[in-house]
Structure 1
Amino acid sequence: MCADPLIVVLIGPGGVGKGTVARRLLELDERLWLSRSWTTREPRPTEDGTEYFFVKREVFEDAIARDFFYEWAEFHGNLYGTPRPAPPEGRDVLLEIEVQGASQVRERDPKALIILLTAPTMALLEARLRGRGDTEEHIARRLESTRREVERGRQLADVVVVNDDIERASGEIVSILEGLRQSRRNPS
């Protein structure tokens, strides 16, 4: 068995279902451990505080100064970051992060598996964003940046998964992870 944990990075534009797919992956694959990110943004009405550690900007900036984060990025005026992962023994790390942060992960760990999650269509993505309770201004900004995020994500990603169905997309990712773990156990 490989001693180093596999770093699995789930990226994609807002509203694509990263959080939902990440939660489903944790249910389907007991070897995955989610490294919970920090953010300075306000919680959405649908969030109960388990998705992120919500902190004040000063606290986040202090953590940056102390080199606390594995990756961090500013996105639409808010800071997002992932503390250096420390998974339990035998577990692989799942990071649900922004495309900007994935660039830092790639630099730190070229062997990390970066998965770009996309929506089947832009219209569906817009509908998902509207269903999250975001403001019209926020939705407009997100849609504007989505094309750039997907383009950059395609450059970084090892795999692109279309999230047209949570079960299908999650199952595809679990199959990819199983294959990768098998090749790490039995390198040719």
Structure 2
Amino acid sequence: MRIQLLLALPSLCLASTSDQIPFPNSRMSNQPEIQTHNQPSLADLLTIEPSASIFYSYARELELSSQFSTTDEGKWTLLVPTNKAVMALSRKPHEDPAPTEPVIEISEHEFESVSKRNVERWVSAHIIPRCPITLTSHTYNTLLCGKSVIFDPVKGSDDSAPEWTRVVFEGDARIIGMKKASNGILYLVDGTVKVD
């Protein structure tokens, strides 16, 4: 009986493709479906862009950054300041404006809450909840309530150059790079959106 069982096994392995029974849906039913895109997500681009690591670090502190990975929430236009632009700020994104009245001591919990709110306002000001957008002479609302970004043409710019190279915003901030993602567009900028 033992020999018969061993002899039967090779015949199972050598079954023709017409005799094989496929799994339902060609995969295990409890396995999640893997979605692929031809382009990386905004989160992917931010992860591999070393000159934008400070912005992405701030964004990861918030729930907003999870939306950079998915297309379920729509498409985004990100104005991502370079590390150099963030370091040049006199007041960092987590800091309050300089006090005009005597400083009152606050608890560590209150400080963390205020810092998180400031970071959320700053990051939100760099996100336009639309994509694609037309840059030349247009104004777009950001995720920060009441804050919009105005793109102005650069005088004397080369009309044959990409549109993003021919505009400034916030006075003199320029777009220095552009990358397309499956869920939006990332513009690398040499300045920041000002938050009052």
Scaled by the length of structure 2, the TM-score of the pair is 0.22
Asked which structure has the greater CA Rg, the reply is 2
Determine which structure has greater relative contact order: mean sequence separation of CA pairs < 8 Å that are 6+ residues apart, divided by chain length. 1
TM-score, structure 1 length as denominator?
0.22
